[in-house]
Structure 1
Amino acid sequence: MKRKEFFLMKKQVYNPFLPIYECVPDGEPHVFGDRVYLYGSHDKEGGETFCMLDYTTYSAPVTDLSDWRCEGTIYRADQDPAYPTDRKFMYAPDVVQGNDGRFYLYYCMSGRAGFGGYNGPISVAVSDSPAGPFRYLGFVHYPDGSPMLNYICFDPGVINDDGTIRIYYGTWSDEALDKDFPNHEEAIQTVMQRYHKSRNEVLQTEGSVMGPCTVTVGDDMLTVTSEPRHIIPAYPIGTSFEEHPFFEASSIRKIGGKYYFIYSSWQNHELCYATSDLPDRDFVFGGTIVSNGDVGYHGRSEKDRLNMTGTTHGSIECINGQWYVFYHRLTHKSDYSRQACAEPITILPDGSIPQVEITSCGLNGKPLHGTGTYPAVIACNITNGHMPHGSNKIYTDSFPNATHCGEDRFIGEIQDGTMLGYKYFAFSGAKEIGVQYRGSCNGKFVVSDNMDGKNIVAEIPVAPADAWTESRAPLHISDGTHPLYLFYRGDGEAAVKELYLA
């Protein structure tokens, strides 16, 4: 059976919710008509840098979020005139419907691992359909045709605000924390080189060249109609953003007359939000929506992260009456193979959004069936107790991770003390659990329905195996909704490809 056919026949959906070989990070979900479309960057599975592939889009009926289909390649990097200069890769995009009914794709080009980027304009492509294909239209510019390069053009998010097209963009680095920055020549040179700005721009731009900004464009979707301005101070000390400063990943939503600015904080693993009654000022920090390591959830500290953490980018969308947050997780021990995930969220009557837990069931709307065969890589927690934070590289250290070899997708480098967490399953009469595994392992997977591992519901023995091998054990779990945590206890190293429940 072909991979795509298998995916479309599924009756439930789990995280990651696209095919397990697909890497679409930086997700911007939008409902157009009766379908929700996910726009994002496109990583290569096992890639060597960010965003190596052309843009692709997936969509699903708003009434069935298990039925995602690939719309194919919607836009190619070589359609941009900057290709293939030092700006060769297309970073996080967004799509908005213009006042003419057409659909506009906003994006920025960048270089390998981010180098060579930050010096171009915001590019625009257009299509008659939200599913593409898109064609290059131009770049955001001033009325005289000169490119709009104020501040740092990066990660554009766009909204059609009752006919006004607003673009949000920008990035930030820790030089913005230095109040004495104008007197630190090394820091000045660093900012000039990184962001391709002149000394005058770096020192004379009001409030800093860094930070989140907004600008409006006219009905042609290209021509600037307002001067760009910061929406949040670039210097966060003493503001509500001090503990969660803006880093990148600008996204904007308007809910009940209030503007929600969603962004990736300097912590890098969390999506935060800020709110304002105005679109271009007075934003106040709201909180964290989701962390790809569950950091902050119920007070969890960074050292106790439940996954390798790293870049995140995404947004929120109301689909068929339910709000969701879309984010991404890391695989292959790097920031370069990121996969789309989502969770339902709640917007409280006061407008606040409590942080949500990352799960395996995500868009499913309910727990996963307590019987069946699941890819092991849908584990929402993969940890050995001291997982790293991604930093724009591929790690060579050994630690458990979702990865692939050929057509096999699995969790590899499982050693003594590794925990794999799956949340949640609805059990009814389940009697057996098993794994498909291989490796030099010699021990067992101790299964618990509690993260502390004290309530043991099964023990699955494993022995050295060169080929994929199945091992099953009796499962003693009560009916109802439960998580499952598999703790490896033993020698050697294991890889796990599938999880069985019966």
Structure 2
Amino acid sequence: MPNPILPLWEYIPDGEPRVFGDRVYLYGSHDRVGCDAFCDFRLKVWYADINDLNDFKCSGVSFSTKDKADRPSDTKEWTQAELFAPDVIENDGKYYLYAYIVGSKGCVGVAEKPEGPFRLLSRYKYNEKDAGDDGIFNDAGVLVDDDGRVYIYYGFTESNFGEINPANMYEIIDGSYMRPIIDDTDNAPEEQRFFEASSPRKINGRYYMIYSPRRGSRLAYAISDSPRGPFEYKGYIVDNGVDYPGGNNHGSVACINGQWYVFYHRMTNNTIMSRRACVEPIEILADGTISPVEMTSLGFEKALDPYKPTPAEIACVLIGECFITELDIFTRPIVNIKKGSVIGYKYFDFGDDFSSKEYTLALKTRGQGCYSRVDVIIDDYESGEVIGSVNVGLGDGVYKGKVKAITGRHAVFFKVTHETEGWTAPYFDSKSLFELLDFTFMK
């Protein structure tokens, strides 16, 4: 499954990946398409067999704060606000959901199975002096340590810490509160300063905190020898704003069949909402550091097949005001494509074919009443080789052009310009030229 890794009509941001048994589970918020607010009043759980990561399934609604036909509210006695950024951990054979609810004191749910459904166990119990962030436990991440102790990390612009009583899993132990775990003061550079999205992990005896820094398009991480810190900033793992319409990022890491991955989200629909789940493989080095990775179109795929139709919406490079949008559950073009727009995909494997001299590239488009040209560039959109071009006409259709035959693994970029000259050209410089639906290479 390429990025995004879930069905293209599903919006699951703030992903917390957890491996339980022979499945990987993705817990996250649930965005609503066409909505001007973050998140939904319900949570869903997606999961896949660790041996078949290209087949994620949905177990349905796992927790809800509003009555729906298929699921009554789990919190009807005290709140009907939106659910943000859940985490789920296992302890003593049960699965505990920690959910932030907007404007409400957070809650803990419990289930017999990792996919839920979760039933309300309790709201957090604590003394006021043992709860930062006004006691709402924003974006809580939970760690069950090897000795059975349970720690919770949370906060919006505050990096807070507490210890949970493992006997009930919702009571904050008196005197355990600490702040900051990650520097959240103006003394820290913006790329390091804690903002939100706490996600703790213990890896090879070290404690990691994955979080969103003040520079919000990145997932940063810090390391400590103790669950209480201090955590030392080490760098960032992925930045969803590199050559792409950026926004907040929230996610974490998981080891699946011996390979580490970072789960994160990207924005669509020209908003900072409508966020979709993505994944990239990462490497944790011997010293514990994580090398930054680029965003790709691959997801769990090793490479894209250029000879099969590629949906436009798996682009990982969007430059020049173009964006992916949902017209309906079947149609997600790249729109607002203007002069100078760049649309990129990483990576295709063109295989070995040393006899062909050229291929045909076919673009399926929706017309905008303009003539334009799409240059096809490999490897780097600024310095890579231009292997051909396609002329796009006024209306809807499939437009074809000849491109140089290539072999091996390459990123592919489309750089767009219009074919208008003279005194009318400035008008077309800022006009939407066409919309891209999908494309394919043909030998």
Report 1:205-244 matches (<5 A): 210-226=158-174, 227-230=176-179, 231-235=181-185, 237=187, 243-244=191-192
2-structure distance, mates of 1:472, 1:380: 23
How far does the alpha carbon of each residue in 1:178-211 deviate from its partner, in whole angstroms, 9 at most, with x for none? xxxxxxxxxxxxxxxxxxxxxxxxxxxxxxxx33
Pairing of 1:394-433 with structure 2 (within 5 A) = 399-406=321-328, 407-428=330-351, 429=353, 431-433=359-361
- Secondary structure, aligned partner of 1:461: strand
Q: Note the 1:108-147 alignment, pairs <5 A.
A: 108-110=100-102, 117=103, 120-142=104-126
Show structure 2 runs of 5+ residues with no match: 67-72, 419-427
2:16 aligned partner: 28
Which of 125, 138, 150 is the matching residue for 2:132? 150
Q: Does 1:444 align with 2:373?
A: yes
CA distance in 1, matches of 2:37, 2:140: 20
- Tell me, in whole angstroms, the C-alpha distance in 2 between the residues paired with 1:83 and 1:271: 36
Q: Give the whole-Å Cα distance in 1 for the aligned partners of 2:76 and 2:216.
A: 28
* Correspondence for 1:94 among 87, 91, 101: 87
Q: Which moved more, 1:484-493 or 1:424-433?
A: 424-433
Deviations 1:195-244 (A, max 9, x none): xxxxxxxxxxxxxxx3343333322111122421121243251x5x6642
- Candidates 159, 182, 190, aligned match of 2:143: 159
> Does 1:381 pair with 2:310?
no
Aligned partners of 2:416, 2:190: CA distance in 1, in Å?
40
The percent of aligned pairs where both chains have the same amino acid is 37
Describe how 1:54-73 pairs up with structure 2 within 5 A. Answer: 54-73=42-61
In the alignment, the residues of structure 2 paired with residue 135 and residue 150 of structure 1 have an alpha-carbon distance, to the nearest angstrom, of 25
- Aligned mate of 1:287, from 235, 257, 263: 235
Q: What secondary structure sits across from 1:355 in the alignment? A: coil
Q: What CA distance in whole angstroms lies between the structure 2 residues aligned with 1:53 and 1:437?
A: 36
Is structure 2 residue 436 aligned with structure 1 residue 496?
yes
Partner of 2:374: helix, strand, or coil? strand
Please tell me whether the aligned partners of residues 14 and 362 of structure 1 are also in contact (alpha carbons under 8 angstroms).
yes
Question: Structure 2: how far apart are the matches of 1:53 and 1:498?
Answer: 33
Per-residue CA distance 1:100-130 (angstroms, 9 max, x = gap): x1111101111xxxxxx3xx32211111111
Q: Look up the equivalent residue of 1:455 and give its one-letter code.
A: E
Give the alignment's Cα RMSD to 1 decimal: 1.9
SS at match of 1:17: coil
Equivalent in 332, 335, 355 of residue 292 of structure 2: 355
2:221 aligned partner: 273
1:50 to 38, 46, 54: 38
Q: Provide the C-alpha distance between the structure 2 equivalents of 1:228 and 1:324, rounded to a whole number of angstroms.
A: 31
Structure 1 residue 81: Cα displacement: 3.0
Which of the residues 7, 12, 16 maps onto 1:19? 7
Instruction: Write the distance in 1 (CA, Å) between the matches of 2:14 and 2:407.
Output: 37
Whole-Å Cα distance in 2 between the matches of residues 278 and 147 of structure 1? 23
Query: Partners of 1:380 and 1:233 in 2: how far apart?
Result: 31
* C-alpha separation in 2, matches of 1:400 and 1:228: 46
Secondary structure of residue in 1 paired with 2:55: coil
Q: Which amino acid aligns with 2:105?
A: P
Q: Note if contact 2:297-2:345 (Cα within 8 Å) is conserved in structure 1.
A: yes
Superposed CA offset, 1:299-332 (max 9, x none): xxxxxxx111101100000011000001100001
Q: Distance in 1 between matches of 2:413 and 2:190?
A: 36
When residues 166 and 17 of structure 1 are mapped into structure 2, their CA distance, relative to the original with a 3 A threshold, is: same
Change (3 A) 1:243 1:413: closer
- Residues 43 and 337 in structure 1, CA contact (< 8 A), matched pair in contact too: yes
Contact 2:162 2:173 in 1 (8 A): no
The 1:233–1:443 alpha-carbon spacing in structure 2 relative to 1, beyond 3 Å, is closer
Deviation at 1:150, TM superposition (A): 2.9
Matches within 5 A, 1:311-330: 311-330=248-267
2:389 maps to what in 1? 459
* Map of 2:69 onto structure 1: none
Structure 1 CA distance for aligned equivalents of residues 65 and 363 of structure 2:
41
Partner Cα distance (2:142, 2:76) in 1: 22
Instruction: Work out whether 1:476 is the aligned partner of 2:404.
Output: yes
Paired AA for residue 377 in structure 1 = E
Residues of 1 paired with 2:413 and 2:405: CA distance?
12
**Contact 2:239 2:295 (C-alpha < 8 Å) held by counterparts:** yes
- Tell me which amino acid in the other structure corresponds to 1:150: G
Deviation at residue 497 of structure 1 after TM alignment: 1.0
| Equivalent-residue separation in structure 2 for 1:453 and 1:461 (angstroms) | 22
What TM-score does the superposition give when structure 2 sets the normalisation length? Answer: 0.88
The answer to whether the Cα contact below 8 Å between 2:183 and 2:193 also exists between their aligned partners in 1 is no
Q: Aligned residues, how many? A: 411
Map of 1:170-185 to 2, 5 A cutoff? Answer: 170-172=155-157
Counterpart Cα distance in 2 of 1:140 and 1:130: 21
The structural deviation recorded for 1:408 is 1.1
Counterpart contact for 1:121–1:148, Cα < 8 Å:
no
TM-score, normalised to structure 1, is 0.78
8 Å contact 1:436–1:470 — kept in the other structure? yes
**Alpha-carbon shift at residue 80 of structure 1 (Å):** 4.4
Aligned partner (choices 313, 316, 341) of residue 278 of structure 2? 341
Distance, in Å, in 2 between the alignment partners of 1:234 and 1:246 is: 5
Aligned partners of 2:162 and 2:172 also within 8 Å: no
Answer whether contact 1:98 1:219 (CA < 8 A) is retained: no
How far apart are 1:45 and its partner, in Å? Answer: 1.9
Q: Name the counterpart of 1:76.
A: 64
The verdict on how the C-alpha distance between 1:459 and 1:58 changes in structure 2, with shifts beyond 3 A counting, is same
Q: What whole-Å deviation, never above 9, does each CA across 1:88-107 have from its counterpart, x for those lacking one?
A: 100000000022x1111101
1:168 to 153, 158, 166: 153
* In 2, Cα distance between equivalents of 1:25 and 1:49: 13
1:7 corresponds in structure 2 to none
Contact 1:382 1:401 in 2 (8 A): yes
**How many angstroms does 1:447 deviate by?**
0.6
1:106 alignment partner in structure 2: 98
SS of 1:309's partner is coil
Superposed displacement of residue 52, structure 1: 2.4
CA shift, 1:452, in A, is: 1.1
Q: Give the number of the structure whose residues are more often helix, by fraction.
A: 1
Deviation at 1:84, TM superposition (A): 7.9
**SS where residue 219 of structure 1 aligns?**
coil
Partner amino acid, structure 2, of 1:481: R
**Cα shift readout 1:22-53 (whole Å, capped 9, x = no counterpart):** 10000000000001000000001222210025
